[in-house]
Each structure stands twice: as C-alpha cells, then as structure tokens.
Amino acid sequence: MGKADIRESQDRFVAAWGQMGSAWGISRTMAEVHALLYITGQPLCTDDIMERLQISRGNASMSLRALVDWGIVEREHRRGDRKEYFRAEQDVWAMFRAIVRERMKREADPLRAALYEIRDSTIGRAGVDPGPELASHNRRLDELIRFFHTLEGVSNSFVSPAGRGLQAAAKILGYVGGALSGPKPENTEADPDTKEAI
C-alpha cells in the first residue's frame, strides 16, 4: 500500500469519525482534528492540521484546546522549534475512558444536580402535608436520583486510570479479544489485572 493509499484511508477515517462527533455532543471539526491526530499516530502542529483538514486557525485552535481539556490530546514541544505540537492518546481504552468521563461530567452530572434541585423544592415546607400526589411525585424523582448515583458508582469503578476498568468490564462480559460471540474468560476472579482495575 503506497502513501497515497494510506492517506486516502486516513481521510476516510477522519470523515467517519467526524460524522460520529455529534453522538459525543461535540462539533464535527473537533472530532475530525482528534481523528487526524489519532490515525496518523504522530505529533502535528496547528499549521499541519489546518492544511490537512482545510480549516481556519481559529477552528483548529479551539478544537485542540477542547481536546486537551478532554484529556485525549497532549501538547508537545520540540527543542529548537517554536511551534506547539499535539499528539492524540493512542491507547484506545484510555481514550474512551476520557470520553466517558467527560460525557458524564457534561451530561449526567448537570441532570443529577437539576433532579436534586427539583426534589428539594418540594420538601421541607413546615406544616405542609405532602399528600399522596406529591409523595408519588417525589418517589419518582428519588428513583431517578438513585439511578444516577448507581451510574456514577459504576462509572467510578470501571472508568479507572488508563482505561483498565473499561477493559476489565469488557473482559468480564467476554468481549475482549474478538467478536461479541467470542469465548468468555474461564476464570475472571483469578485475573489480577481485572481485580486491580475494579
């Protein structure tokens, strides 16, 4: 496979990853910048990214800043070169750990805070009988709050450093190392990596 073929394959990956950006709740450009850095596997400067993706400096800078904040891209400096370079996390488990963590922070956490605020606004009024309708209303809110507490616990357990918790969860379910119908691990309990990650 020649360089032109590799570049074409990279471009197709960038386009596919960019389309998936909306599922993350991020812009297409941000997803494409991340895709380019990941698939090339090498540090690129802002100028390289602008030229390859045909985007403005402002778009490139904003996307890179956001990706660094997400923890899936790192800045690099080269001796004797004043340009700033950027490298994407190459460990897919660590990468998706960071994505899950950021999605929880951006989506689940604000919703949970709103549920608490709504719940608190209907309780604690001295001398007011809640009545069956309000009690039922609060019970439904409490169920959602408990669900989000459970979700946070699962997230904290499995979204561990370097993504090892996600890998352990997949191993427990038998999804690592092949297709979904692949063999399940014979003795997960005996696997020290799984124990440590959980």
Q: For the chain, which domains are there?
A: 3-88 (1.10.10.10), 92-197 (no CATH)
Which residues lie across from 73 on neighbouring strands?
A: 88
pTM summary value: 0.67
Running DSSP on this structure, what letter comes out for residue 56?
-
Sign of dihedral through CA atoms 51, 56, 58, 63? negative
Res 186: pLDDT = 47
Res 157: pLDDT = 66
How far apart, in Å, do the first and last CA atoms of the chain sit?
42
> Which residues of the chain fall short of a pLDDT of 50?
126, 179-198
Nearest to 53 by CA among 86, 22, 24, 31: 31
Alpha-carbon separation of residue 196 from 11, 31, 153, 187, 192 (angstroms): 38, 32, 16, 15, 6
Res 160: pLDDT = 58
> How many Å apart are CA 164 and CA 194, to the nearest integer?
8
SS3 86: strand
